[in-house]
Structure 1
Amino acid sequence: WRNIKARIHELADGKGIVPLWIIDEAQNLPLEFFRDLPAFLNFAFDSRDLMVVWLLGLPGLAHTLERAPYVALTGRIQVRVQLKPIVERERFKNLIEHTFLQADAQQTLMSDSGIELLRQASRGVPRKAGLILKTSMRLAVPKGLNHLPDELIQQAIEELP
């Protein structure tokens, strides 16, 4: 903590920079971290806000932070955002099509029924849909396919836990 505190003071006082500390998969942090972080922030920075902390994680993170031992940290949370699954058919289809466009896909890779199969299997959770798509593409390559037929998507769904 001491080295982190010194670097933050150096950035804030010397360069006028407010660091943003992004901690992904925060639900995997030890519980002691959530207990110690408020004390670190209070001790290190007195009344000044010299850094911003984003804790990103699965829903279990929110449940952890709601527990009594972490009330000091919960009291410092200024914004909470929870991303919900994308269950509406058209929005989910737009997400998948956007993803393929961002990957520079030059053609339609899935039928509407394939996208619907993906939506139902993933329950609208983008990360789960991504795993299914990744598995589908892995299965398509040895077959020399340039698209993802419904049967291949179904096979990918069955392969995943």
Structure 2
Amino acid sequence: MYLYHFGLRELPFTLTPNTNFFLGLEPHNEALAVLLTALKTGEGFIKVIGEVGTGKTLLCRKLLNEIPDHFVTAYIPDPYLKPDELRRAVALELGVKQAQRMSVQLLTQRIQQKVIELHKEGRSVVLILDEAQALPEESLEALRLFTNLETETRKLLQVVLFAQPELDERLSQTNFRQLRQRITFAYKLRAMTSIEVQRYIEHRLKIAGYKGATLFNTNLCKKIAKATQGIPRLVNILCHKMLMLTYGQGHYQINTKHLKAAIDDTEDTALPSINLRWISTSLLLMVGVVSAYIFWRYQA
């Protein structure tokens, strides 16, 4: 691999959501601030929506690392679960013993007892679901019922949903209006700008141990931003392939040819094409207008 070639300690552009590579760009800092504020104020449902590859899972891991100590977290990374399976997964995360053997009714009671016990100890329970758009319809309703546990001042169980935009489409349906109205805080992750893409690439190289001359210049970063539409996952894929191509050729400088080759080998990436016919037509029109103006001035 190209680690020794470029003087790297580790691969800088892997797809694994490693919080060591987290860069506090504006959208992710804002989302994290919204999440922590909402949790501290005791809100029932909090939602973070983002397109595929915008860094939701990395943000989720960052939240788990930075959430205050008095919170007890139940993390469900794969929520494609039926209601009973979801309850058992939550129970296991909260440390409910023999959760797999209980009836649904008894399991629900034990979860409620556990949440109340933790509240008496001054702890707050947070259920965090990644890829929440995959929740079956019945499980979404079960999730809503979880949050019925409350005191006069706050919810005893809070829920954070990380999801793709498809979740919003589902929640817009009439039968989900009760759940929709309980979501008091929401944030939508945006893609990176070209400036942020350059910062992102430089940051990941630095964390990976790179100390040499600039590998991805400003012009190249702008093209990467256009080709990926600022999606972090796609940026990682292109940069990884470009480093591999450069290493394979025995070079140390990355160029546009490497980018084009990486784009050709990667789904959902492309540089904007130039419509030459439109340009030719525009130039002809411009020449015609200028010629007519000159002729008019000459006749006058």
TM-score range relative to shorter protein: 0.7 to 0.9
- Kept in 2, the 8 Å contact 1:111–1:150? The answer is no
Q: Larger helix proportion, structure 1 or 2?
A: 1
Matched residue, 1:71: 177
The share of aligned pairs that are identical, in percent, is: 25
Selected match of 1:96 from 195, 201, 209: 201
Matched residue, 2:260: 154
Do structure 1's residue 8 and structure 2's residue 111 form an aligned pair?
A: no
Amino acid at match of 1:33: S
Do structure 1's residue 35 and structure 2's residue 113 form an aligned pair?
A: no
Q: Once structures 1 and 2 are overlaid, which stretch shifts more, 96-105 or 59-68?
A: 96-105
Over aligned residues, Cα RMSD in angstroms? 2.4
Superimposed CA distance per residue, residues 48-81 of structure 1 (whole angstroms, 9 cap, x where no aligned partner): 5122211112222222222222111111112110
- Mapping of residues 102-113 of structure 1, within 5 Å: 102-107=207-212, 108-113=214-219
Runs of at least 5 residues in structure 2 that lack an aligned partner in the other structure:
1-86, 95-110, 268-300
Alignment partner of 1:21: what SS? strand
Superposed displacement of residue 146, structure 1: 4.7
Matched residue, 1:119: 225
2:250 and 2:156 mapped to 1: Cα distance? 54
Matched residue, 2:123: 17
- Kept in 1, the 8 Å contact 2:147–2:158? The answer is no
> How many residue pairs align between the two structures?
157
TM-score normalized by the length of structure 2: 0.46
Alignment partner of 2:145: what SS? helix
1:19 and 1:148 mapped to 2: Cα distance? 48
1:7 and 1:135 mapped to 2: Cα distance? 49
Instruction: Name which one, 1 or 2, has greater alpha-carbon Rg.
Output: 2
Superposed displacement of residue 46, structure 1: 4.2
Amino acid at match of 1:96: I
> Would the alpha carbon gap of residues 31 and 109 (structure 1) be closer, same or farther in structure 2, given more than 3 Å must change?
farther
Q: Larger strand proportion, structure 1 or 2?
A: 2
Amino acid at match of 2:118: L
Superposed displacement of residue 151, structure 1: 1.9
Q: Once structures 1 and 2 are overlaid, which stretch shifts more, 98-107 or 15-24?
A: 98-107
Which of the pair has the greater relative contact order for Cα pairs under 8 Å at 6+ separation? 2
TM-score normalized by the length of structure 1: 0.79
Superposed displacement of residue 147, structure 1: 5.1
> Would the alpha carbon gap of residues 157 and 63 (structure 1) be closer, same or farther in structure 2, given more than 3 Å must change?
same
1:86 and 1:124 mapped to 2: Cα distance? 4
- Kept in 2, the 8 Å contact 1:86–1:125? The answer is yes
Superposed displacement of residue 28, structure 1: 2.2
